[in-house]
């Protein structure tokens, strides 16, 4: 008996789930999500930049104002101390010999002491014009002879320092100037001699009274 075998060939059936591409709606959603992420990152970077920049500007503003406030406070303190010193200087100068004079102007024969520079006072020490001599002395020290003089003058400390810097340099002194708040000083040297000039008083023309201390030592 013969058996008829039939060969059945399967028709190629395309699988739509494998061939078919992505859904356009899904693609659009992914694109929108990516765009949102990028926008968020950009916004965060901008905000970070603004924070850093703002912090820098705020810090600089605070530092600048703190420096200005410090300078203003220093000037006020210096001027206030200068005013008090000027008042003391005026009181001291005006009271020289006042204890020896009666209220009616008579002196009961008392002689009001006068101050003068000691003999041999160095001629290369400049004396600022308009000064009043309040004390002066000459002593012998281990390093040589020492002369001291205290002057008062109706000039600001800045004007006094400028005068002595110019005059001392013109006379061949080597000058070194320093400043500490309301006290200005000059240390000058020349041929084994040293002169220290200390100036206390107002720092500007409104406080035009200064006390000048001169200390000279020769070897």
Q: For residues 209 and 128, what is the distance between their CA atoms, to the nearest angstrom?
A: 13
In a domain, 12, yes or no: no
- Answering whether pTM is above 0.85, one says no
- What residues are paired with 200 via a beta bridge? 183, 211
- Do the domain assignments include residue 195? yes
Report how many domains make up the chain: 1
pLDDT at res. 66: 65
Contact between 157 and 184 (Cβ < 8 Å): yes
Instruction: Decide if 200 is inside a domain.
Output: yes
Compute CA distances 98 → 2, 107, 113, 215, whole Å: 163, 9, 10, 27
Using 70 as the pLDDT threshold, list the residues of the chain that sit under it. Answer: 1-31, 50-58, 60-64, 66-114, 203-207
- Do the strands 132-141 and 210-218 form a parallel or antiparallel pair, or are they unpaired? unpaired
Q: Which of 198, 119, 188, 185 is nearest to 151 (CA)?
A: 198
In a domain, 99, yes or no: yes
In this structure, are residues 198 and 213 in contact, taking their beta carbons and an 8 Å threshold?
Answer: yes
Residue 2 lies in a domain: no
Residues of the domain holding 201: 24-219
| Predicted local distance difference test score (pLDDT) of residue 209 | 86
Has residue 89 been placed in a domain? yes
Hey, which residues does 199 pair with through a beta bridge?
184, 212
Distance CA 130, CA 156 (A): 13
pLDDT for position 105: 47
pLDDT score of 101: 43
- Give the residue from 211, 176, 179 showing the smallest Cα distance to 194: 176
Domain assignment present for 56: yes
Q: Are residues 195 and 215 in contact, defined by beta-carbon separation less than 8 angstroms?
A: yes
170 found inside a domain: yes
Say how far residue 108 (Cα) sits from the centre of its chain: 55
pLDDT reported for residue 21: 52
pLDDT of residue 208: 77
pLDDT at 218: 86
């Amino acid at each position: 008996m013969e058996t008829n075998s039939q060969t059945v060939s399967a028709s190629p059936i395309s699988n739509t789930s494998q061939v078919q591409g992505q859904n356009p709606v899904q693609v659009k959603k992914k694109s929108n999500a990516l765009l949102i992420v990028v926008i968020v990152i950009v916004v965060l970077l901008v905000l970070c930049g603004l924070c850093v920049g703002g912090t820098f500007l705020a810090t600089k503003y605070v530092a600048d104002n703190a420096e200005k406030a410090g300078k203003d406070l220093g000037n006020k303190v210096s001027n206030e101390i200068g005013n008090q010193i000027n008042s003391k200087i005026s009181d001291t100068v005006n009271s020289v010999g006042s204890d020896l004079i009666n209220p009616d102007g008579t002196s009961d024969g008392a002689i009001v002491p006068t101050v003068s520079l000691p003999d041999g006072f160095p001629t290369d020490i400049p004396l600022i014009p308009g000064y009043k001599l309040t004390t002066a002395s000459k002593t012998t020290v281990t390093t040589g002879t020492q002369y001291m003089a205290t002057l008062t003058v109706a000039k600001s400390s800045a004007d006094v320092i400028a005068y002595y810097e110019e005059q001392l340099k013109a006379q061949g002194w080597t000058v070194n100037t320093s400043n500490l708040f309301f006290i200005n000083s000059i240390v000058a040297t020349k041929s084994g001699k040293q002169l220290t000039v200390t100036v206390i008083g107002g720092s500007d023309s409104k406080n035009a009274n200064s006390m000048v201390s001169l200390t000279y030592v020769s070897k």
